[in-house]
Amino acid sequence: MPQITVDYSARLSEGFDRRGFALALHDAVVGIAAAKYEACKTQFRATEDTTVGRDEDGHVVVHVTLGLLAGRTDETKARLTEAVLELLRTYVKPGTGAALHASAEVRDLDASYRKFDA
């Protein structure tokens, strides 16, 4: 915990500082949601096809999902999603002519969540 997944349009590969974003995001998660650095895990998944509305071209998408153990207040979750959006403004450069659609969501991990480190 936290389990962080970042889905993004492959067109952003050059304009998305993923490492910088992940490190800054981990700082935010520790500061806002009282997580531990060593528990922060972020995975990035590039998507080849993006369609917004009826348009295939001219749009790029980034969506960040943060899975946290239950117990954070709605206010904490909202502060965290706002921080994610601010970080995306800093670390994503969509390029000329591309409309960036960015979103974030914090979810409680299910009670069945378990992990191990080897």
Is 45 domain-assigned?
A: yes
Strand order of the β-sheet with 99-108 is: 41-47, 3-9, 59-68, 99-108
**Distance (Å, whole) CA 57 – CA 33:** 37
Total number of domains in the chain: 1
Is 113 domain-assigned?
A: no
Q: What is the pTM of this model?
A: 0.93
CATH code, domain with 43: 3.30.429.10
| Element at 61 (helix H, strand E) | strand 59-68
Is 50 domain-assigned?
A: yes
Contacts of 97 (CB under 8 A, 6+ apart): 58
Is 27 domain-assigned?
A: yes
Neighbours of 8 (CB within 10 A): 24
- Model pLDDT for residues 81-103, shown as the tens digit of each residue: 999 999 999 999 998 889 999 99
Which residues span the domain enclosing 72?
Answer: 3-108
- Model pLDDT for residues 16-47, shown as the tens digit of each residue: 999 999 999 999 999 999 999 999 999 999 99
Q: Quick one: tokens of 14?
A: 């050059």
